[in-house]
Structure 1
């Protein structure tokens, strides 16, 4: 199939928040060792707005400086389109793993997503879309991906436009107009940890995909914690989902530390 610049596409990987992802052969000039990368391409009638979002995403990737974020290798314009290349994780995501992964491996991926979120928070950035689809599995744990909805933690900034945001993994307060914050990302980490262990979200099986109907359904519901969670994981998830943000862990680093304790209970140091 075709490519962009000196990237030869292997196959499409699907849509992300504002672009199309492709698996591509890595040009030798990158000097990364890996044979393949993911290339996100932003084009079309909304490409100007998408370009602004993409450059913001790249900036947030660079300033966070965390090896638990997906690595970005290259960016540029070609034929009216904007693209950038990033690390390819062949094991898939927590939502759609490519293979069989035990509970410990899934939990370790959430721990690493929490570490990545903390790095963003320390730079004043909220991810806003932490969910199983954006937690990628790696041999050494996991990576947090897709900063397309990330924003600065500035007073008065709220979520406008839901896009492809993972609603069932989003703090309900955000849907009511609250500012994105450490606390809202921690809510998402708690919900993702629940998914990693129980294999389902805290709202069970939601019907339909239309965003406004999903918002109404979620706001009319209360999270339910599965009995499959061990006591330490249940306590962490309950704290992370607390309506009172003062009850939640203060930082995503604390979430990661507590998940490390859960991993120790599971008998692993992944």
Structure 2
């Protein structure tokens, strides 16, 4: 199979927001114990300025003070394409687990994603794309993956390239021009927690296949918590997805603390 730079691809792992993930053999120069990594190859050419911005954010991601972030090993350009290599977690994601996933594990994975998001926020970085597909599963909980670099690589992508962005888990305010922030990531954590508890989004049934129709449906809907969600968990989800950012938990760390308090009820 083909590869990129000195990465030999083993198999594709699927399409992502703005590129393709591949399982690849880890080159010796990385100096890591793992024999395999995930390489994301970004679709389309990347300008010098976008490359610098993206690699700067990935550097901050890789050194943020959290072991709940997927480890990023490398980034570069090859033939004009931007790529980066990160830790491979074979258990899959909250959206697509590789095997059975009980609710307790799913909720712990969201808690860990909240801890990871807080570490990024403390370094001045909003993740921008927290969703079940980017919450990867580990034996002890979860890891937050895949910074929303699309806004750096293609600044208009939130409006013009909506096909694969996780809009169902994006604060609707971002679709009308609000900048990514702690508060928008907290919204996404709340929506992801709702998915962990119910297997459903907070917008109900949404149209698929037509991005602009999807956006209109989201903006016209009122996010709601499914009646099956137990009391304290329902209160937390509702707080996270509150329309007024001031009514949301102030930090992702607070979200993690409140999820921990739910654990006996959700385990």
The 1:77–1:221 alpha-carbon spacing in structure 2 relative to 1, beyond 3 Å, is closer
Name 1:149's counterpart in structure 2: 149
Correspondences of 1:258-269 after superposition (within 5 Å): 258-267=258-267
Q: CA deviation at 1:160?
A: 5.5
The 1:247–1:79 alpha-carbon spacing in structure 2 relative to 1, beyond 3 Å, is closer
Q: Is the 8 A contact 2:62 2:73 kept in 1?
A: no
Name 2:172's counterpart in structure 1: 172
TM-score normalised by length of structure 2: 0.89
Give CA-to-partner distance per residue, 1:65-106, whole Å, 9 cap, x none. Answer: 321111011233444444321100111111111100100010
Q: CA deviation at 1:8?
A: 1.7
Name 1:196's counterpart in structure 2: 196
Q: CA deviation at 1:63?
A: 4.6
Q: CA deviation at 1:161?
A: 4.6
The 1:6–1:150 alpha-carbon spacing in structure 2 relative to 1, beyond 3 Å, is closer
Question: Aligned partners of 1:257, 1:34: CA distance in 2, in Å?
Answer: 32
Instruction: Give the structure with the larger helix fraction.
Output: 2
The 1:100–1:179 alpha-carbon spacing in structure 2 relative to 1, beyond 3 Å, is same
Question: Aligned partners of 1:234, 1:124: CA distance in 2, in Å?
Answer: 29
Correspondences of 1:1-270 after superposition (within 5 Å): 1-42=1-42, 44=44, 46-48=45-47, 51-52=51-52, 54-149=54-149, 161=160, 163=162, 164-267=164-267
Q: Is the 8 A contact 1:125 1:150 kept in 2?
A: no
Q: CA deviation at 1:11?
A: 0.3
Stretches of structure 2 that go unaligned for 5 or more consecutive residues are 153-157
Question: Aligned partners of 1:201, 1:70: CA distance in 2, in Å?
Answer: 24
Question: Aligned partners of 2:125, 2:234: CA distance in 1, in Å?
Answer: 27
How many aligned residue pairs are there? 261
Q: CA deviation at 1:24?
A: 0.7
The 1:35–1:186 alpha-carbon spacing in structure 2 relative to 1, beyond 3 Å, is same
TM-score normalised by length of structure 1: 0.88
